[in-house]
Amino acid sequence: MRSPLSSAAHTVALVALVAGSLAVASCSSSSKPTTPPSATYPEPDRAAAATKLLTGPDWYRHAVVYEVNVRSFQDSNGDGLGDLKGLTSRLDDLKSLGVDALWLMPIMPTPFKDSGYDIADYQAINPDYGTLADFDALLVEAHKRSMRVMIDLVLNHTSDQHAWFKDSRSSKTNPHADWYVWSDTPSDPNVGCGTFSAQFGASAWELAKERNQYYFHRFYKQQPDLNYRSPAVVKATLDATRFWLDRGVDGFRCDVIGLLFESATACDMIPETKDYIRQLRAVLDSYPDRAMVAESTNYSSAADYFGDGKDMFHMAFNFAYGYFWGIPFSGTLSSTLEQPFLDSQSKNPLGAQDALVIGSHDVARAYDSAQSIESRWRRAAFVQMTMPGTPYVYYGEELALRPGSTAVVDNRDYARTPMVWTKAAPGYGFTTGTPWIPFGDVPEQTSVEGEKADASSNYAFYKQLLAVRRGRAAFGTGALKVLAVDDPSIVLFTRSSADETYVIAMSMDETDPHTGTAAGAALPGDPQLLFGDATLVRSGADAKITVAAAGMAIFRVK
């Protein structure tokens, strides 16, 4: 729900981007090699390979996940709000793009004081989006297409309109009296935490006149924190997860999960929180082929969220890349780009899987983070799709959807504008009515309809890249080896599975081509170019790479 770039830190990062920005250069996105490949390898049935990789408990390691803001995706009834029936009607479009799983932003009832992250009922559907029957139908249709569905699970807090909180605030003796964190004063020596950021107020304590006590909230005052030291809260929240698992959801994205328990000295991932996560994992493990991903509140490393690699989260977002990729891309040094992935290798336990983003509902659109430079967001996506981890594509990213300028809740709404399906104003295929929030800039230039018809579009770039990735185990679970190149502007690494090896090359320089040598690369075979605009030549144990300005390429060498 929260990100470091949604307030002051966002400004700092943008300043760094502007200070280091370079001149824009064109970036070829064609998957066709410019010269005949020097090697050709036997090609297995990739569709069959993809089906195998995406079946069973490890499906999430090979999937491409698509984050959907249901409110902004597709309106089916003309009220200006996206809904579940609208999303269901677009499943074929997403399947065609190469999407394997959906992550839905909160779909539960809410007063919408925090865009749905203030939940008023854990076991129902927001009437704006439809009914439980509509959700069940979405699951059926998605599963027919071999697509998984994950939903947002917000466990740290509820809405102040939740029945639990209404009861809790009514007196000190009601059945839910201890389900939230209460104090006689606007502080507590056992809770050494304030609000998560200045955005949510100067004090984390709010007076409830009904019981003449203060309740604790890390976020908006309408979002009281649950008291996980109450066994009844632990049981109720785990029961809520079972409710959705019983309906058939394939997993959860867990919002600010590290903040469940507080202590006098710590506020994030304390031992009690880790114990709860292990209980949550045990619930998921009692259902076949389910997975969950953590929103880490540690932006340098998510290692704490994995436990021993098998007893906590399946995935956690690597925000060191996902939130800050714009900074290395404003310079020309490959090492600054590679470091977050090397850190994951060294810090995460065996079995951990990074979740990789370049945008989300909490941060600026990739278009903004790239300072509107097309080659940057394309290369950022290229890294996202080829480095170790599960890629999560934020809706509209494949179109380079532009941000808006209207805020309904807060300025994160700039990145939550409606999807653009057609070139036809005023509704652009999203609605026949008035959209709940205005479209982002230049919608006529960023429609699915228009970009599908353009072989050089961002949509075509994404579709080609996802097709190359699909059915190749090396990208989902393969080993990573960063190759040292004598030109610091060239990113060069390999991804290897048991029977295949790929070389990924990219230039950090947006103005000039670069040639470098990776001494001792010891590639297992000659290169076959699968995607992009670079040249790779093997010379004994060395490899010579030439990359166009802002160029990128994928080679198979085994």
Written as six digits, the tokens of 177 are 């009296």
CA distance 118 to 224: 9
Q: For residue 245, what are its two tokens?
A: 């698992």
- Structure token pair of residue 507: 């230039």
Distances (CA, A) of 401 to 13, 101, 115: 21, 20, 20
CB 313 within 8 A of CB 273: no
* Marked catalytic residue, from 75, 255, 354, 500: 255
> Which tokens in the block code for residue 513?
């081509």
The structure tokens listed for 201 are 């107020």
Asked if 218 contacts 196 with a C-beta cutoff of 8 angstroms, the reply is: yes
CA distance 543 to 517: 6
Instruction: Tell me the sheet residues that pair with 354.
Output: 316
The type of residue at 498 is: A
**What is the CA angle 401-405-410, rounded to 5?**
105
Active site residue 295: yes
Listed residue (105, 142, 109) closest to 126, CA to CA: 109
Using DSSP's 3-state secondary structure scheme, residue 419 falls into coil
Q: Is 262 a catalytic residue?
A: no
Strand residue runs (E) in 209-256: 213-216, 251-254
The residues near 555 (Cβ < 8 Å, ≥ 6 apart) are 502, 503, 504, 505, 527, 528, 529, 530, 534, 536
Strand 514-518 with 542-547, pairing: antiparallel
**SS3 annotation, 420-458:** CCCCCCCCCCCCCCCCCCCCCCCHHHCCHHHHHCCCCCH
Give the list of residues 6+ apart from residue 32 with CB closer than 8 angstroms, or none.
none
- Find all residues with CB under 8 Å of 9, minimum gap 6, and list them: none
- Name the β-bridge partners of 532: 553
Which helix (H) or strand (E) segment is 232 a member of?
Answer: helix 231-247
Gap between the Cα atoms of 86 and 419, Å rounded: 12
User: Residues 67, 225, 262, 295: which is the catalytic one?
Assistant: 295
CA distance 268 to 270: 6
Amino acid identity of 275? D
Q: Which two tokens stand for residue 214?
A: 């203060």
Catalytic residue numbers?
255, 295
